[in-house]
Amino acid sequence: MTDQPPPPPHDPPPHGQPYGQPPGGYDPRWGYGPPGVPYGVPQQGPPEETTWAIFAYVGNALIGFLPALIVYLAKKNTSPFTRFHAAQSMNQQLTMLIHLLVMLAVCVPPAIALKEPVFLAPLLIPYLELVFGGWTFIILGAVKAGKGQYYRFPTFFCLRMIR
């Protein structure tokens, strides 16, 4: 097998058009997008949508869930792309909060009852989870949003509570 394009059509090309290319300069039989577009037609909408989606993640990293909530409430009826990323950002924050509260509920009562602070050591788990997993997925989500792509976090780090 050779990696050559299909043979050109038998009719002559229009004036100024390379032989074997349709008038638009793109032959769908070759399987590539039009010239100048590296990966076919881009997925993203207006740049404003990607900016709002990125802001939901950056605000999540800097302040907490409030910026994502504001973006979600402002754009939920106008932009499905922005709504998806803002909801995912809020879901990630809420999931991390739930993980922390569960660990507090499990670790604090024995530590108080037995007066042993060693029972508080498992609280290190949600902290490390937030530091490594949380930040990694926030950055990854912001990068994907900036490229105009949808990206879902793994369920353990982001339960879908807000849709």
pLDDT value of position 129: 79
Could you tell me the residue ranges of all domains in the chain?
8-41, 47-146
> What does the pLDDT look like over 78-88, one tens digit per residue?
888 999 999 99
Two structure tokens written together for 42 = 């881009």
pTM: 0.66
Q: Quick check: 41 pLDDT over 50?
A: no
| Axis crossing angle, helix 47-62 with helix 135-146, rounded to the nearest 10 | 170
Question: Is the pLDDT score of 44 beyond 60?
Answer: no
Condensed to tens digits (0 to 9), the pLDDT of residues 94-147 reads 888 888 888 889 888 988 998 888 888 888 887 887 778 778 889 999 999 999
Position 62 pLDDT exceeds 60: yes
In DSSP terms, 38 is beta-bridged to 40
- Give yes or no for a contact between 151 and 140, defined as CB atoms under 8 angstroms apart: yes
Q: Phi and psi (nearest 5°) for 29?
A: -65, -25
Q: How far apart are CA 106 and CA 126, in angstroms?
A: 12
- Of 92, 47, 46, give the one whose Cα is nearest residue 67: 92
* Percent with pLDDT over 90 in the chain: 21
